């Protein structure tokens, strides 16, 4: 029984991720989530509470998976940006989910704010050690790194797609990733003697 319950919950969460990424919180329908998951709609309320609570759980799990898949490394911000790029390219629904969250429920959770403070402190330590440019506030530096890593996924046309909606082809993913890594490398490089920065 527990195994069946776990499998049903997992199907519902997968279906909810797809639904929320496509329609946002307001546009998502629990009946579509249940139908996609092959489950009774009532189980959504039993397992997860209301639609907003389900969205929060889906987003939290996506963020936790991202943090596990792409550990933060302040000593290699270009590599970190490239890893974020890869993570997003493999999960096109994730940026849409985050965009809906920003539109419909702006702000951050206490856990999210704490994680950001920890990353900012790590960037500050790299700046103090002279390994990252100290001319930019550490929180601003982190924001720039994250924004560059996500830039192609927030562009018109949708994440990881060409203008016609098809997946990137012809080496575009590799070129875009290389551009992200190179851009981050330039902005984090410490300014030295003779630097044009």
pLDDT in tens, 118-176: 999 999 999 999 999 999 999 999 999 999 999 988 776 555 555 566 667 768 889 99
Burial class of residue 88, CB neighbours in 10 A (0-12, 13-18, 19+): buried
Q: Which residues contact 147 (CB under 8 A, 6 or more apart)?
A: none
| pTM summary value | 0.84
Cα–Cα distance between 87 and 194 in angstroms, integer? 36
List the chain pLDDT tens, one digit each, 197 residues. Answer: 444 689 999 999 999 999 999 999 999 999 999 999 999 999 999 999 999 999 999 999 998 898 899 999 999 999 999 999 999 988 888 888 988 998 998 888 887 888 899 999 999 999 999 999 999 999 999 999 999 999 988 776 555 555 566 667 768 889 999 999 999 999 999 986 544 44
3-state secondary structure of 170: coil
Distances (CA, A) of 106 to 17, 101, 102, 179: 18, 6, 5, 29
Q: Which residues contact 29 (CB under 8 A, 6 or more apart)?
A: 19, 23
């Amino acid at each position: 029984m527990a195994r069946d319950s776990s499998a049903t919950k997992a199907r519902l969460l997968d279906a909810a991720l797809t639904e929320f990424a496509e329609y946002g919180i307001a546009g998502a329908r629990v009946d579509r989530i249940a139908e996609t998951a092959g489950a009774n709609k009532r189980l959504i309320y039993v397992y997860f509470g209301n639609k907003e609570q389900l969205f929060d759980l889906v987003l939290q799990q996506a963020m936790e998976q991202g943090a596990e898949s792409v550990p933060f490394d302040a000593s290699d911000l270009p590599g970190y940006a490239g890893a974020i790029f890869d993570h997003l390219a493999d999960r096109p629904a994730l940026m849409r989910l985050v965009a809906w969250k920003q539109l419909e429920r702006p702000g951050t959770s206490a856990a999210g704010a704490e994680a950001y403070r920890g990353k900012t402190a790590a960037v500050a330590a790299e700046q103090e050690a002279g390994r990252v440019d100290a001319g930019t506030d550490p929180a601003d530096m982190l924001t720039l790194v994250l924004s560059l890593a996500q830039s192609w996924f927030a562009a018109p046309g949708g994440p990881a797609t060409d203008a016609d909606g098809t997946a990137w082809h012809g080496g575009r993913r590799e070129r875009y990733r290389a551009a992200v890594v190179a851009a981050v490398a330039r902005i984090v490089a410490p300014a030295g003697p003779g630097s044009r920065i």
